[in-house]
Amino acid sequence: MGIVVQKYGGSSVANAEKFRRVARRIAWKRQQGHDVVVVVSAPGDTTDDLLDKASELTKNASAREMDVLLSTGEQISIALLAMALQEIGCPAISLTGPQAGFQTDDTHRAAKIQNIDTKRVRQELALGKVVIVAGFQGLDANGDITTLGRGGSDASAIALAAYLEAEACQIFTDVDGVYTSDPRLVPTAARLDEISYDEILELAAAGAQVMQLRSVEFAKQYGVEFEVLSSLAPLPSEGGIEKGTKVVAALSPNNNRVVSGVAVDSKVARITILSLPDRPGVAAKVFGALGKAKVNVDMIVQSAGVVAGGIPTADIAFTCARDDLDLALDVCQEVLTALAGTQLIYDIDVAKVSIVGSGVASNYGVAAKMFEALAERGVNIELITGSEIKISCLVRASQAVEAVRAVHDKFELGKTAAGAEVK
């Protein structure tokens, strides 16, 4: 049998008993004849605790020193998990990201994996050991520790699976797969048996807390299909069945669903620029400046404004992350100082509701059905944008949950269908 890469999140190793449970699951997989490589995150709230400790000392910590600090969380996990495995007679060794060969660029706090030298990992596997690797971290060309950003352990696992040409990659979390919507908001949400790279990327971008975007992009680039499972499910050694959501390049031919999920993002803000001169290059100046400032924008809509002094104008509205609002306003204001007569306004009482599915573009009436669902619940749509597999609507924040439930019900996503399973 080949190599299996498993990844366990922080909630899966939050205490001693959970470490033991994870160890038993890993040992069972090894007993089936697989070589096992495990990527693990910092235990529980360790990363948040480290951030709090840093904030007690400074509000302007250097990114390099923050990486040195935050990387220690995963080192706690790998050592403890190795001990838990050794305690039950399973040979194991822990490796930091650099020891496991992770080479990154020098962008601290958000580094990108450039290469993995898998020699050490393969050597340890050849000795019959389970190799436990610290996720979320690597080493740049200067020999400095880097981290991959929030959720970076997913990227570590998928990258390892690619470089090791693993037989399987399993991402264990505290939920048993990807759902048609957030079960905390929509009680009838159903677990999907499979979902495509493009669908899960769009769901993540739309606000669903499913996977780190970069990790799925990496999986798509290298063709690594993986499965999202629950570490809390009954252990196979106790009669449990490993069953979750497979993330694949393309859905099975017999899977004919139109919409796969509904997501909501309540951490957005809308910025509207009124009376921009309607001529070539003006929008480029605005969004070029926002891009230079590293502000990601979404839901861009332009509409005709009024004619001011014989000059046609346009109004442009767009959304950005609420955390980026102040920076985005400063950037826009600086650009607009050279454009007389413009006005800048913003709104934080908004939320983005999106449907995602491979069949959105190829089926008639999908958008109408979504708009109808919102209208029936008295939810007004303030902005609309779409792509081949996604339609997004901006609504009042106070109506976000009602909107998600309405759309989920309208498309009957909670019913057992091809590729979906009721929770």
pLDDT score of 307? 67
Q: Where does the pLDDT of residue 418 fall: very low under 50, low under 70, confident under 90, or very high at 90 and above?
A: very low
pLDDT score of 13? 97
Above 90 in pLDDT, residue 175? Answer: no
Kindly state the average pLDDT of the residues 191-220.
90
Above 50 in pLDDT, residue 86? Answer: yes
Q: Where does the pLDDT of residue 309 fall: very low under 50, low under 70, confident under 90, or very high at 90 and above?
A: low
| Tokens describing residue 332 | 């826009």
Average pLDDT of the chain? 94
Q: Is the dihedral of CA 173, 358, 183, 242 positive or negative?
A: negative
pLDDT score of 150? 80
pLDDT score of 420? 43
Kindly state the average pLDDT of the residues 94-105.
98
Kindly state the average pLDDT of the residues 51-61.
95
Distance of CA 38 to the CA centre of its chain: 20
Above 90 in pLDDT, residue 192? Answer: yes
pLDDT score of 340? 85
The pLDDT > 90 percentage for the chain reads 85
d(CA 313, CA 164): 56
Out of 34-48, 199-213, 357-371, least confident range: 199-213
Above 90 in pLDDT, residue 310? Answer: no
Above 90 in pLDDT, residue 207? Answer: no
Out of 97-101, 227-231, 338-342, least confident range: 338-342
Q: Is the dihedral of CA 326, 328, 334, 336 positive or negative?
A: negative
| Tokens describing residue 132 | 């436990």
pLDDT score of 308? 59
Above 50 in pLDDT, residue 423? Answer: no
pLDDT score of 213? 83
Phi, psi dihedral angles at 228 (to 5 degrees):
-100, 120
Provide the 8-state DSSP code for 179: B
Beta pairing partners, 195: 247
HEC-encoded secondary structure of 252-279: CCCCCCCCCEEEEECCEEEEEEEEEECC
The pLDDT > 70 percentage for the chain reads 97
Q: What is the CATH number of domain 3-253?
A: 3.40.1160.10
Cβ atoms of 302 and 385 within 8 Å: the answer is no
Q: Does 241 or 41 have the greater pLDDT score?
A: 41
What amino acid is encoded at 22 in this protein?
Answer: V
Beta pairing partners, 344: 273
pLDDT score of 417? 41
d(CA 204, CA 162): 22
Would you list the domain boundaries of the chain? 3-253
Residue pLDDT, tens place only, 138-161:
999 999 999 999 889 999 999 999
pLDDT score of 211? 82
Above 90 in pLDDT, residue 237? Answer: no
pLDDT score of 74? 98
Residue pLDDT, tens place only, 361-373:
889 999 999 999 9
pTM value > 0.85: yes
Q: Does 419 or 49 have the greater pLDDT score?
A: 49
Above 80 in pLDDT, residue 419? Answer: no
